[in-house]
Amino acid sequence: MKKLPVCKACISGSLCLSCQERFDEGKVTQFDIDLANDLLILEEKYPELKNASFYQAVDIGSTVFLVIGQGQRSRFKKELLDELCDLYELPGIDLIEKGSVKKMIEQIIGPDVRLLGVNQIYIPTGETEYKIIISQEDKDRIRIPINDLQKASSLIIREITKVSFI
């Protein structure tokens, strides 16, 4: 694999200082590390993974989102995803290609939902929030519950997100 959440050396052993820091900050989870290790093992069975990137996994209960490299969806074949679902007893895996915040949110909400905007809001404390604006007409077409959408987008973007409808 080209890109992983931690160094290849850190996957099977103890974490280096940089990876440990990312782990302590919550930017990398044990699930990310375990999944990266299994993807490296599965490279022999699925050689297209050698040129793939895996950034993080976000488990929201009803599904798991894998953040992968842009334009690499075809490298993660259905058989591979099914094998990972069986291995980790997951209800399902959805792929999110890394890109702009708006592009990633569009992939989370689904293809039939109109995303009207993603506004970045600067809080006086120095923090940032994102407001996801979706058409009221499309509220019932979002493929995951609103709470799960906020949770998944917050974990993927690593900022607080709130959903509103107009």
**Structure confidence by residue, pLDDT tens digits, 21-48:** 999 999 999 999 999 999 999 999 999 9
CATH of domain 101-165: 3.30.300.20
Query: Distance between CA atoms of 11 and 7, rounded to whole angstroms?
Result: 7
In the chain, CATH 3.30.300.20 covers 101-165
pLDDT at 7: 94
pLDDT at 149 over 90: yes
Please write the tens of the pLDDT for every residue from 68-124: 999 999 999 999 999 999 999 999 999 999 999 999 999 999 999 999 999 999 999
pLDDT beyond 90 at 13: no
Question: Could you tell me which residues come within 8 angstroms of residue 127 by beta carbon, excluding any fewer than 6 positions away?
Answer: 159, 160
Distance, C-alpha 163 to centroid of its chain: 18
* 116: Cα separation from own chain's centroid: 21
For 143, the token pair is 């493929």
